[in-house]
């Protein structure tokens, strides 16, 4: 991919063979634990585990519909604030929707629908 824009010496320094040993370890039956769900970076013989960090962000009331771009711009500093003590480090794929789904679940219409579904489910079990 870089061959057309980089000198051959750089292409050789960045070749996939430098990443392959990590793949071998991760695919091995003897792979060190924990490794599931982990993110890695590798290149030119350098290897590191990385982590996903998320700013707490801003909840716009779901029941008000799609927030206008102006509201996003107004709150952008807060959306991107990793230093307010509220940032977290999700460690599983399901953690990615933690705040977005919580915001949806605060919508009174969704809460009412869930309550109705629970009642119907309870009635059908009786």
One domain for residues 72 and 115 = yes
pLDDT at 9: 83
pLDDT at 66: 94
Question: Per-residue pLDDT for 125 more than 80?
Answer: no
- Cut 0.75: pTM above it: no
- Gap between the Cα atoms of 45 and 10, Å rounded: 13
Question: Per-residue pLDDT for 1 more than 70?
Answer: no
Q: Residue 33 sits in which domain range? A: 8-50
- Residue of 15, 45, 42, 12 whose CA lies nearest to 26: 42
- Residue of 98, 102, 120, 99 whose CA lies nearest to 111: 102
Cα–Cα distance list, 57 to 2, 16, 53, 77, 93 (Å): 36, 37, 12, 9, 18
pLDDT at 7: 82
Cβ–Cβ < 8 Å for 37, 29? no
pLDDT at 35: 67
Q: Residue 3 domain-assigned?
A: no
Mean pLDDT of the 112-126 span: 85
Q: Residue 77 domain-assigned?
A: yes
Question: Per-residue pLDDT for 68 more than 90?
Answer: yes
Q: Which two tokens stand for residue 64?
A: 């008000």
Mean pLDDT of the 72-76 span: 96
One domain for residues 66 and 20 = no
Q: What's the number of domains the chain is made of?
A: 2
Q: Looking at per-residue confidence, does 69 or 124 come out higher?
A: 69
């Amino acid at each position: 991919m870089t061959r057309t824009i980089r000198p051959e010496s750089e292409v050789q320094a960045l070749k996939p063979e430098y990443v392959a040993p990590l793949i071998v370890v991760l695919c091995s039956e003897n792979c060190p634990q924990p490794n599931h769900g982990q993110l890695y970076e590798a290149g030119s013989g350098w290897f590191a585990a990385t982590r996903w960090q998320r700013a707490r962000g801003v909840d716009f009331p779901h029941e008000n519909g799609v927030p206008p771009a102006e509201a996003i711009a107004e709150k952008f500093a807060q959306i991107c604030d990793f230093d307010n003590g509220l940032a977290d480090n999700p460690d599983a794929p399901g953690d990615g929707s933690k705040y977005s789904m919580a915001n949806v679940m605060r919508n009174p219409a969704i809460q009412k629908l869930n309550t109705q579904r629970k009642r119907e489910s309870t009635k059908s079990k009786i």
